[in-house]
């Protein structure tokens, strides 16, 4: 081994160890001192202190996390939409009719205006064409392959490295304090599950999300679950408390989101008896990530809208708003 490289390697290894020790000492090392960090630490101390009137038994320590924009990047578009567009491009040779059929034509021609004009109905058609018609096992393999090869257009990294390091620390911190952590996302449950355990430490049975219907079939005598082009459940907005109740059957005591789609989840969490923690991530860091609202005068966006009225509800109810710019000294897990 070249001596200079060897020294460099040793130095890097030492730094990794030192960083590791620092992380052990402070589980929330990527969080700056401030109201957001204090709200987390105070809440956890109160509910884990057996002598506190706010003590919560371990079985009731349920925390739910939105995914897109709360745990990982959702701009310039939802990661799953990027996946759907890539799938449509890949399948196009089997569908010559897509060249002249919207919304597929828009995807193949990279015509974002035509894609926008196709609206929600158009997006649904793209999802059905790209997410249905195969077994759950085949879909899983497709998703894993995509995560291994796709790169974010701005950060040139795998999407799984564009998860927010402070939120990952929060997940581990809560679990170290007896919490069961769940994802409750508008995104597809089968799109998330192949990566949540490795990236967030969240096993598949703690992932709640939108889904299409599946059908049990015997293929060559072997049972498979075929994915059908039919919506089963939309886990967004008023669907989030419905999904939480269906999957968990208990009310969370802490919930984390970033957009209008998370309001009802936070309301549902807040309405329970006893101590509660509701937090919303505000994307106000155009340099290190993105800045969008339109709350606080930030730019409008179709992906992860944080409206003025959600901000009003947060202020009125004491929900804690996390400023990416001020509260986080590191954004992405990739920087580790």
For a copy of itself, the closer CB: 134 or 248 = 248
CA distance 167 to 328: 10
Question: According to the binding rule CB under 8 A, does residue 143 interact with a copy of itself?
Answer: no
Of 71-79, 243-251, 254-262, 309-317: span binding a copy of itself (CB under 8 A): 243-251
Beta bridge partners of 164: 332
**Nearest-approach distance from CB 217 to a copy of itself, in angstroms:** 8
Of 68-76, 103-111, 260-268, 297-305: span binding a copy of itself (CB under 8 A): 260-268
**Nearest-approach distance from CB 85 to a copy of itself, in angstroms:** 25
Question: According to the binding rule CB under 8 A, does residue 193 interact with a copy of itself?
Answer: yes
Q: Convert residues 32-61 into a mask of x (bound to a copy of itself by CB under 8 A) and - (unbound).
A: ---------------------------x--
Question: According to the binding rule CB under 8 A, does residue 134 interact with a copy of itself?
Answer: no
**Nearest-approach distance from CB 231 to a copy of itself, in angstroms:** 13
Question: According to the binding rule CB under 8 A, does residue 161 interact with a copy of itself?
Answer: no
CA distance 198 to 252: 23
For a copy of itself, the closer CB: 190 or 284 = 190
**55-61: Cβ within 8 A, 24+ apart:** 56/253, 56/274, 56/275, 58/178, 60/250, 60/253, 61/174, 61/177, 61/178, 61/179, 61/180, 61/253
DSSP letter for each residue of 263-298: HHHHHHHHTSSS--EEEEEE-B-TTTS-B--BGGGP
With CB under 8 A as the rule, give the number of residues binding a copy of itself.
32
For a copy of itself, the closer CB: 114 or 242 = 242
The residue among 178, 167, 176, 166 whose CA lies nearest residue 253 is: 178
Single residue of 3, 121, 156, 222 touching a copy of itself by CB under 8 A: 222
Neighbours of 255 (CB within 10 A): 30
How big is the CA angle at 197 (ends 191 and 200), to the nearest 5 degrees? 95
**Nearest-approach distance from CB 138 to a copy of itself, in angstroms:** 13
**Nearest-approach distance from CB 134 to a copy of itself, in angstroms:** 14
**Nearest-approach distance from CB 136 to a copy of itself, in angstroms:** 6
CA distance 66 to 86: 24
The residue among 319, 23, 329, 276 whose CA lies nearest residue 172 is: 23
Neighbours of 90 (CB within 10 A): 12
The residue among 43, 214, 165 whose CA lies nearest residue 157 is: 165
Which residues in the 57-86 window bind a copy of itself by CB under 8 A? 59
CA distance 148 to 131: 18
Single residue of 39, 150, 225, 234 touching a copy of itself by CB under 8 A: 225
CA distance 331 to 336: 10
Question: According to the binding rule CB under 8 A, does residue 276 interact with a copy of itself?
Answer: no
Applying CB under 8 A, the residues found at the interface with a copy of itself are: 59, 136, 180, 189-190, 193, 203-205, 207, 211, 214-216, 222-223, 225, 232, 238-239, 241-242, 245-250, 264, 267-268, 271
């Amino acid at each position: 081994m070249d001596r200079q490289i060897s020294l460099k390697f040793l130095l890097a290894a030492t730094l990794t160890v030192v960083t590791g020790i620092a992380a052990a000492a402070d589980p929330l090392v990527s969080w700056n001192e401030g109201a957001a960090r204090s709200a987390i630490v105070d809440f956890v101390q109160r509910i884990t202190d057996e002598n506190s009137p706010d003590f919560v038994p371990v079985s009731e320590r349920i925390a739910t996390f939105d995914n897109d924009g709360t745990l990982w990047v959702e701009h310039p578009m939802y990661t799953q939409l990027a996946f759907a567009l890539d799938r449509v491009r890949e399948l196009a040779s089997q569908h010559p009719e897509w060249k002249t059929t919207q919304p597929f034509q828009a995807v193949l021609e990279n015509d974002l205006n035509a894609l926008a004009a196709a609206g929600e109905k158009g997006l649904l058609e793209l999802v059905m064409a790209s997410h249905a018609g195969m077994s759950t096992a085949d879909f899983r393999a497709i998703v894993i392959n995509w995560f291994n090869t796709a790169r974010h257009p701005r950060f040139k990294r795998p999407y799984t490295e564009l998860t927010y390091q402070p939120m990952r620390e929060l997940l581990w911190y809560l679990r170290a304090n007896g919490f069961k952590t769940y994802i409750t996302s508008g995104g597809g449950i089968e799109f998330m599950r192949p990566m949540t355990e490795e990236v967030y430490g969240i096993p598949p049975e703690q992932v709640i999300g939108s889904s299409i219907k599946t059908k049990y079939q015997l293929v060559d005598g072997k049972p498979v679950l075929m994915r059908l082009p039919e919506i089963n459940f939309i886990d967004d907005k008023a669907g989030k408390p419905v999904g939480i109740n269906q999957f968990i059957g208990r009310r969370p005591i802490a919930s984390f989101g970033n957009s209008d789609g998370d309001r009802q989840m936070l309301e549902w969490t807040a309405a329970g008896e006893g101590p509660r923690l509701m937090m919303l991530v505000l994307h106000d860091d155009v340099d290190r990530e993105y800045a969008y609202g339109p709350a606080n005068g930030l730019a409008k966006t179709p992906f992860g809208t944080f409206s003025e009225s959600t901000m009003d509800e947060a202020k009125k109810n004491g929900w804690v708003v996390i400023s990416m710019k001020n509260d986080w000294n590191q954004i992405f897990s990739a920087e580790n």
